[in-house]
Chains A and B, each alone.
Chain A
């Protein structure tokens, strides 16, 4: 295991990117940080800039106007990084499939930028905070 990968697994700092979600996944993401689930005790922390982040939490379908910014945010994130696609929309556009302003699925957009991106899927509408925590644990133990 390279030094970079080893260090990625400790205290994952996350940047939250909403690319056209209904707010539900976003609330649940914030919910993870509040007293009931409190993931900050494991070193998982929301940060204000993608340059500080080890992982991107992407929610939403990926609208035409948002994916341009998503590509830029992915380029700015320090590599290696993990991309978590939170919710049914991010995993495969969900109920908004076929909408005229939907450019997703988000995983294809990220693969266009970087074919070797590490992408993890957390399905659900919205996924419960337990599911997100379980997703993080699975990815970190698989790396």
Chain B
């Protein structure tokens, strides 16, 4: 009889000192080499899509900006674009520019945050401290424009809530120049550093074919040589008027993703400055009185990739269905391609390299995890039908037929 030995499993999480959020990875290891990876999520599921159905159209942007604290400009923007798609309203040009500026500033601080955390993950805390120091002026600018360092709450259906005062323009340009100088220095330092080359090059390679197969988005695929970007492919806000390039690198390793993010910071700073200089005069919002029945889609390029919102309205004052698809939802499964065959020590940085955001991703909760019953769509549907039948039996409701209506 052949005896099989159980392979050792290494647990990472749910509360891991390196992780900001709860996530649980089971690494099947063979010595130092990772042979399989399994992710257990939904610790962070809060039921946002359902809560959204209880709020009015005007209140939802405040909720969806809390889908994820770092994408708190892109999620409301995608939602608002979906509702504007239903209404068929075009926001004034100044509002489009204000949206662009806020979104680009958000990308700058998000990418800087990632570069810092990546440094922290490989034990290079100097990079961590530098990057987080250089992103502070951006947060101060956002606070001056919108009133909050994160969670800006600046967009509404038909335009924006707060304007960028014209007096503030010179200050914004000056601060962004300062940030650009510091970022250039940081980029050169990172690209020159032999330690980072040794630690990141050839690690966690996501090939072009795998990136396509897993349908990954954002800097994750742009680091694998696929130059897709919603801002370029389906321009929204004022991106079509600005002069910029999509950054991509062919290698697919963690180093390529770092380079993509650092160069994107410089590109975003350039775009933000151009948008501030070109900022047209005029109102910042069109009045929208009511939302007609219908359905709409909105897309925006969040710092982590494409975020997609679908909203359906029945003519009332609340969305009757609101679907969110966040970028990490497609980026996280690509770990299957990039982590297997790596050393354990390289896995943390590979997991971090897609900049995963679990508060965005978790759209489903396992209701009965302790008995390991996983409710998929079919069983939930079955349970729902059984419940309806039971209630019908209890209250003695008549049989419902489609032909009756």
Verify that A and B bind, or say they do not: yes
Query: Is A106 located at the chain interface by the 8 A CB criterion?
Result: no
Query: Is B365 located at the chain interface by the 8 A CB criterion?
Result: yes
Evaluate contact between B365 and A101: CB separation under 8 angstroms: yes
Bound complex: CA A62 to CA B14 (Å)? 14
Bound complex: CA A125 to CA B67 (Å)? 13
CB of B2 to closest CB in A, whole Å: 39
Please indicate the chain B residues that have their CB under 8 angstroms from the CB of A73 in the complex. Answer: 15
Please indicate the chain B residues that have their CB under 8 angstroms from the CB of A69 in the complex. Answer: 14-15, 22, 43
- 0/1 string, A9-43, CB within 8 A of B gives 1: 00000001111111111111011001110000000
Evaluate contact between B70 and A23: CB separation under 8 angstroms: yes
Bound complex: CA A48 to CA B13 (Å)? 12
Q: Decide if the interface of chain B is mainly helix, strand, loop or mixed.
A: loop
Stretch at the interface among B79-87, B126-134, B159-167, B185-193: B126-134
Bound complex: CA A111 to CA B15 (Å)? 21
Evaluate contact between B46 and A126: CB separation under 8 angstroms: no
Bound complex: CA A16 to CA B129 (Å)? 19
In chain A between 73 and 105, which residues have their CB closer than 8 angstroms to a CB of chain B?
Answer: 73, 95-96, 98-102
Among residues of B, the one whose C-beta sits closest to the C-beta of A19 is B22
Bound complex: CA A48 to CA B50 (Å)? 35
Evaluate contact between B45 and A63: CB separation under 8 angstroms: yes
Bound complex: CA A21 to CA B15 (Å)? 13
Bound complex: CA A143 to CA B165 (Å)? 46
Evaluate contact between B45 and A18: CB separation under 8 angstroms: no
Evaluate contact between A63 and B70: CB separation under 8 angstroms: no
Evaluate contact between B51 and A24: CB separation under 8 angstroms: no
CB of B265 to closest CB in A, whole Å: 17
Please indicate the chain B residues that have their CB under 8 angstroms from the CB of A31 in the complex. Answer: 132
Q: How many residues of B contact A (CB 8 A)?
A: 40
Please indicate the chain B residues that have their CB under 8 angstroms from the CB of A63 in the complex. Answer: 43-46, 365
Query: Is A119 located at the chain interface by the 8 A CB criterion?
Result: no
- 0/1 string, A107-132, CB within 8 A of B gives 1: 00000000000000000011010000
Q: How many residues of A contact B (CB 8 A)?
A: 40
CB of A107 to closest CB in B, whole Å: 18
Bound complex: CA A69 to CA B15 (Å)? 9
Contact of B149 among A16, A22, A98, A126 (CB under 8 A): A126
Bound complex: CA A111 to CA B62 (Å)? 30
Q: Which of A18, A64, A69 has the most CB of B within 10 A?
A: A18
- 0/1 string, B1-45, CB within 8 A of A gives 1: 000000000000011010011100000000000000000001111
Please indicate the chain B residues that have their CB under 8 angstroms from the CB of A30 in the complex. Answer: 20, 132
Query: Is A7 located at the chain interface by the 8 A CB criterion?
Result: no
Evaluate contact between A98 and B54: CB separation under 8 angstroms: yes
Please indicate the chain B residues that have their CB under 8 angstroms from the CB of A125 in the complex. Answer: 66, 148, 151
CB of B15 to closest CB in A, whole Å: 6
Query: Is B194 located at the chain interface by the 8 A CB criterion?
Result: no
In chain B between 52 and 75, which residues have their CB closer than 8 angstroms to a CB of chain A?
Answer: 54, 62-63, 66-70, 72
Contact of B72 among A16, A24, A99 (CB under 8 A): A24
Among residues of A, the one whose C-beta sits closest to the C-beta of B120 is A30
CB of A13 to closest CB in B, whole Å: 12
Query: Is A134 located at the chain interface by the 8 A CB criterion?
Result: no
What are the nearest 5 A-B pairs in CB distance? Answer: A24-B69, A48-B17, A34-B132, A23-B69, A99-B47
With A99-B47, A126-B149 known, 14 other A-B pairs at CB within 8 A are: A18-B15, A20-B43, A20-B359, A26-B69, A34-B129, A61-B46, A65-B365, A66-B14, A73-B15, A99-B46, A99-B50, A101-B46, A102-B47, A126-B151
- Enumerate 5 A-B pairs (CB-CB under 8 Å) in ascending A order: A18-B22, A19-B43, A22-B67, A24-B69, A25-B69
